[in-house]
Amino acid sequence: MGEHKVVEHDVVVIGAGGAGLRAAIEAASKGASVGLVCKSLLGKAHTVMAEGGVAAALANADERDNWQTHFADTMRGGQYLNAWRMAELHAKEAPDRVRELEAWGALLDRTKDGRMNQRNFGGHKYPRLAHVGDRTGLEMIRTLQDHGIHQGIEVHMEVTVTKLLKDGDRCVGAFAYDRERGRFRVFKSKAVVLATGGIGRAFLVTSNSWEYTGDGHALAYEAGAELVDMEFVQFHPTGMVWPPSVKGILVTEGVRGEGGILKNSEGRRFMFDDIPPLYVDQTADTPEEGWRYVIGDKSARRPPELLTRDHVARKIVREVKEGRGSPHGGVFLDIAWIKEHIKDSEAHIRKKLPSMYHQFKELAGIDITKEQMEVGPTTHYAMGGIRVEPDSQMATTVPGLFAAGECAGGLHGANRLGGNSLSDLLVFGKRAGEFAAKFAAASSPPSIGNDQIDAAAREALAPLERDPGADVGPYRLQFELQQLMQDKVGIARDESELTQAVEEIQKLKARAAKMGAGGSREYNPGWHTTLDLSSLLTVSEAVTIAARERKESRGAHSRVDHLGKDPEWGKYNLVLRKGPDGRMQIRKEPIVPMRPDLQDIIKEQG
């Protein structure tokens, strides 16, 4: 049963999106032998879905921009719960990380003087997102992939990790199966980097692909790592809502960056009705000022459609709840209106937003150059993740385990700004790879007990040995979990529903532990879904428990029974860890006071 192939590397990177690829490239450049493990084919990871751009204070489109402003914007967007050291490193290093992509073949859109162009995005004071139309993520992953394949990295495609392996406290490898034949593979290494992305598949309406089942979060948690900020799940304000088969698919914030406006069924631009105090000074007073901002007038302030995602999502929900929504339960997003200002606006929209044009044309039969879109919130991003040391990205409680990108927590605090995810991948992917290679070079060869491997193999095979007909099957159980999370742990939360959800999750866990999958080990998605369920349930529990604990509304976490921010809660992050009794433990972790020079920056930036 425990039959397996052993693969040895200095560093094993799990996940091959932007963060994983960047980590692998860096570790290899430091002389480490690197294995890159991905659940899908190389180049298909969720990074391809990123649309709007990568945030970096290049100051190409507006010379007033600098790392200090990017830092202050990121902290403000995160409602000051961010790990400020990560926000500092991110703002300082993002420009270099973006520039080096061009040396690897990326071709980003240009300014008139031939430099990388930058566009406006929510929460960013200046136009800051380097981009390629609305397919920036594809450009990034392909650039890293095409560069990475020449760096001596061994890629293990369609291989899924189910357990991290340890030698004492140290993380020294991973147990995995290949999709094609269901054969087991044991990765032995001196350091492991997790770059597995997010948890969106725990919710019914999501912009995330099937892979986003919180594997890295759950693997790390099971291996003794801490999770932080799990209550903060970003609901992107604009996902497609019609037809049902495409519900949740992302509509890039770039639409609003290029001048798109939100309207309710009465045709009112409702975003002007309610501007949060933190942003009053930065927001346009009139539609006319908002438009001037879009076309680059430096004296104008941002239109309210470009407020942070948490705020915009809540306002859309309010419009729908109060009966001013669109026919299919969203609101209207209109980019066609810019014809009032731009000659040949149809060609302009097709050029700036080509994927959006095709997405709506082909999937919804709507021509966005002429008609309004219908949009509503969709689960998009996990701010929370594995708690890491800011500089090295090593997990706080597991030596040898590193995390980068969406599966790591800290950078974004209570809410992530658009564009800060792609820069996060690059900055901290590189750091994780660098420090993992360093750690590996200083480490002795690991020893992995056979008992760990046998136990992992038993666990992986168990679903195939159980009766597949005893319950509703893995897909339906996953659907039940998604429905539960959507209804009770979504945009508007309250104590009683969260408590119910915690109980329901326990019941689903018990059922999942008995779930059988029919068929063989050969490329069997039913079996894979059963195994993924375990990760999904762990992260769902983490989100729900943290959401119940934080009795305030801040950023993406919104409690109808505790409206508004509570300054006391602003002093803590919530940290989760597996207790000695196997149950999830939660604690309030005081935020380390910010370095005085960084405090000064926040004050100066208003």
What residues act catalytically? Answer: 236, 256
Range in contact with other proteins (rule: CB under 8 A) among 283-291, 357-365, 484-492, 560-568: 357-365
> Residue 285, interface with other proteins (CB under 8 A)?
no
Among 211, 253, 374, 424, binds other proteins (CB under 8 A): 211
The window from 148-156, 450-458, 494-502, 570-578 that contacts other proteins (CB under 8 A) reads 148-156
Residue 526 beta carbon to other proteins: minimum distance, rounded to whole angstroms:
3
Does 40 bind other proteins (CB under 8 A)? Our answer is: yes
Position 104 contacts other proteins (CB under 8 A): yes
In angstroms, give the least distance from the CB of 75 to other proteins.
Answer: 27
CA 502 to chain CA centroid, Å, is 23
> In angstroms, what is the minimal distance from the CB of 137 to other proteins?
8
Cα angle value 584/187/228 (rounded, 5°): 25
Bridge-based pairing state of the strands 227-228 and 572-578: antiparallel
Q: Is 571 in the site for other proteins (CB under 8 A)?
A: no
109 binds other proteins (CB under 8 A): yes
- C-beta of 115: minimal distance to other proteins in Å? 7
Backbone angles phi, psi at 34, to 5 degrees: -125, 135
> What's the token pair of residue 566?
């509570």
Options 44-52, 312-320, 554-562, 592-600: segment touching other proteins (CB under 8 A):
44-52
Give yes or no for residue 375 binding other proteins (CB under 8 A): no
- Residue closer to other proteins by CB (options 345, 530) is 530
Site membership for other proteins, residue 380 (CB under 8 A): no
Query: Which pair of structure tokens corresponds to residue 268?
Result: 């009112």
Considering the complex, state which of residue 138 and residue 505 has its C-beta at the smaller distance from other proteins. 138
Q: Is 102 a binder of other proteins (CB under 8 A)?
A: yes
Which residues within the stretch 391-410 sit at the binding site for other proteins (CB under 8 A)? none
Element housing 363 (H / E)? helix 354-364
Q: What are the φ and ψ backbone dihedral angles of 215, each rounded to 5 degrees?
A: -55, -50
Please, which residue, 21 or 398, has the CB nearer to other proteins?
A: 21
SS3 content of the chain, % helix, strand, coil (to 5): 40, 20, 40
Nearer to other proteins, 249 or 545 (CB): 249
List the structure tokens of 183.
């054969």
Per-residue binding letters, 218-257, with other proteins (x by CB under 8 A): ------------------------xxxxx--xx-------
Question: Shortest approach of other proteins to residue 409 CB, angstroms?
Answer: 24
Among 273, 274, 322, 362, binds other proteins (CB under 8 A): 362
Q: Min. distance of Cβ 134 from other proteins in angstroms?
A: 10
d(CA 169, CA 186): 18
CA pair distance 2, 352, nearest whole angstrom = 53
Q: How many residues bind other proteins, per CB under 8 A?
A: 67
Query: Of 439-447, 453-461, 524-532, 596-604, which segment contacts other proteins by CB under 8 A?
Result: 524-532
Contacting other proteins (CB under 8 A), which of 5, 6, 64, 150?
Answer: 150
| Concatenated DSSP letters of 130-150 | E-STT-HHHHHHHHHHHHHTT
Report which secondary-structure segment, H or E, holds 87.
helix 84-103
Residue from 113, 266, 281, 465 touching other proteins (CB under 8 A): that is: 113
β-partners of residue 526 are: none
Q: Name every residue whose Cβ is closer than 8 Å to that of residue 395 and which is 6 or more positions away in sequence.
A: 171, 220, 225, 226, 386, 387, 388, 401, 402, 403
522 binds other proteins (CB under 8 A): yes
- Sorted by sequence, the CB contacts under 8 Å of residue 241 that are 6+ apart come out as 247, 326, 328, 329, 330, 374, 375, 376
Smaller CB separation from other proteins, 105 or 296: 105
Q: Residue 19 in contact with residue 383, Cβ under 8 Å?
A: no
Closest CA to 594 of 84, 88, 81, 87: 84
Interface mask toward other proteins for 48-67; x: CB under 8 A: xx------------------
Helix axes 67-77, 596-604, angle to 10 degrees: 90
* 514 sits near other proteins (criterion: CB under 8 A): no
CB of 103 to other proteins, least distance (A): 5
Work out whether 466 is an interface residue with other proteins (CB under 8 A). no
Burial class from Cβ neighbours inside 10 Å (0-12, 13-18, 19+) for residue 515 reads buried
Site for other proteins in 179-198 (CB under 8 A): 180
As measured in angstroms, the least distance from the Cβ of 372 to other proteins is: 17
* Residue 322: CB atoms within 10 Å: 10
Q: Is 358 in the site for other proteins (CB under 8 A)?
A: yes
First to last CA, the chain: 62
| Beta-strand runs (E) in 329-471 | 331-334, 373-382, 385-386, 401-403
Find the helix packing angle between 18-29 and 136-148, rounded to 10°: 30
Of the candidates 110, 187, 561, the one whose C-alpha atom is nearest the C-alpha of residue 400 is 187
Find the shortest distance in angstroms from Cβ 218 to other proteins.
Answer: 20
Is 499 near other proteins (CB under 8 A)? Answer: no
Report the site for other proteins in 121-140 (rule: CB under 8 A). Answer: 132, 135, 138-139
Closer CB to other proteins, residue 245 or residue 299? 245
Fill in the amino acid letter for 226: E
Residue nearer to other proteins on the CB measure, 9 or 135: 135
CB of residue 161 vs other proteins: minimum separation in angstroms? Answer: 17
Figure out which of the listed residues 66, 265, 282, 355 binds other proteins, where binding follows CB under 8 A.
Answer: 355
Q: In the bound complex, what is the minimum distance in angstroms from residue 366's beta carbon to other proteins?
A: 11
Closest of 126, 105, 91, 24 to residue 432, by C-alpha: 24
Q: To the nearest whole angstrom, how small is the minimum distance from the Cβ of residue 415 to other proteins?
A: 24
Q: Is 458 in the site for other proteins (CB under 8 A)?
A: no
By residue count, the chain amounts to 606
Q: What is the 3-state secondary structure (H, E, C) of 153-189?
A: CEEECCEEEEEEEEECCEEEEEEEEECCCCCEEEEEC
Write out the residues near other proteins by the rule CB under 8 A: 40-46, 48-49, 99, 102-105, 107-110, 113-117, 132, 135, 138-139, 142, 146-147, 149-150, 155, 157, 180, 209-211, 242-246, 249-250, 355, 358-359, 362-364, 468, 473-476, 479, 517-520, 522-527
